[in-house]
Structure 1
């Protein structure tokens, strides 16, 4: 692949990422509208044609890494790993 080809692909890649960002913003706006409607209805689930829309609380467990670091356990049980990162600037 030539440098010109790489430049062209990098440009196309950035354009696609911009489109993805714009679509994500649209999706987030629609999600916010749906959540507002669910709140207005005070409903956790609504049947809407072929879809069931749910907006409900749930519980999850999280690790308190700040406490682990304070107790010295984080360093004892953590390990460093190497990964590859791709970027175009």
Structure 2
């Protein structure tokens, strides 16, 4: 594949990424509007035509690795492992 073909693919990739960002912004805006309406109605669940919309509080538990590292630095270090990966970027 020649340099021009790669350049064309990068241009197309950039255009698609911009479209995706715009769509994500639009989707987030719609979600916020729906959430505000649900909040105004005081509900965590509502029927909207064929759709059931839920916006519920969820309680979860996560391991606080920063606090563990701070309090048990030596033990934390024993369980660290290096990983290798590749990162694709276009500047």
Q: CA deviation at 1:74?
A: 2.5
Aligned to 1:84: 86
Q: State the aligned residue count.
A: 89
Structure 1: tracts of 5 or more residues without a match: none
1:52-88 Cα offsets, whole Å, 9 max, x none, are 0000101111111111111113322121100111111
Which SS does the other structure have where 1:88 is aligned? coil
Aligned to 2:62: 62
Matched, 1:12 2:12: yes
CA RMSD of the aligned region, Å? 0.8
Q: TM-score, normalised by structure 2?
A: 0.93
Q: Higher relative contact order by CA 8 Å / sep ≥ 6: 1 or 2?
A: 1
Aligned to 2:3: 3
Structure 2: tracts of 5 or more residues without a match: none
Aligned to 2:34: 34
After TM superposition, what 4+ stretches of structure 1 lie above 6 angstroms from structure 2?
none
Greater displacement, 70-79 / 21-30: 70-79
